[in-house]
Amino acid sequence: MSMELIGVATKPQALKGQFRVKPSILNFKTFKKLDNVTIDSRQYNIESVSIRDTFVIIKLEGVDTCEQAEQFRNKQIFADIEVEVDTSFDLNRFAVIISGENIGNVTNINNFGSKDILTISGSQEIMAPIIDGLIIATDESAKTITMDKNIFESVAVYED
């Protein structure tokens, strides 16, 4: 495990010392597993974590007011975590497999704020956000990504 950037504090949330975090990791659930984080070389114990669609809310021990939470605005947040294998290599040009069928290749990966978006080119262009459960498996040597059919169908956007 190593110290990794997991997000950036954006603004206070409510009045009891919580603040919002824009995650820089794909799996937001990682925040729930943390006991502490490091901000400006100082370690803080985590009191609570709440996960939302596009951000995470953190409450640190000893940070009990909105004013105290304000001091963390725009600060980078680090934690001692294991980097997930699926996020450690470039998925461009990987074949996308759904129910055993190759539907095309990843031609682009964009991030517009909340999730990475894959552009898949095959018989038509498809865009899909990388959300929890979508990617079942990746095979770096075969350059394939296997996706869950039901989740893919619920989030995919087809270009005309």
For 119, the token pair is: 């552009």
Q: Indicate whether 58 pLDDT > 70.
A: yes
Q: Where do you find CATH 2.30.30 in the chain?
A: 95-158
Fold of 2-83: Elongation Factor Tu (Ef-tu); domain 3 (2.40.30)
Looking at the chain, which residues constitute the CATH 2.40.30.60 domain(s)?
2-83
For residue 88, pLDDT beyond 70: no
Query: pTM for the complete prediction?
Result: 0.55
Q: How many CA atoms lie within 13 A of 48 on its CB side?
A: 10
Predicted confidence (pLDDT) per residue in 125-153, tens digit: 999 998 888 888 888 789 999 999 999 99
Task: Say if residues 97 and 103 touch (Cβ distance below 8 Å).
Answer: yes
CA distance to 35, 107, 120, per residue, from 32 (Å): 8, 33, 31
- For the domain spanning 95-158, the CATH number is 2.30.30
Average pLDDT in the chain: 88
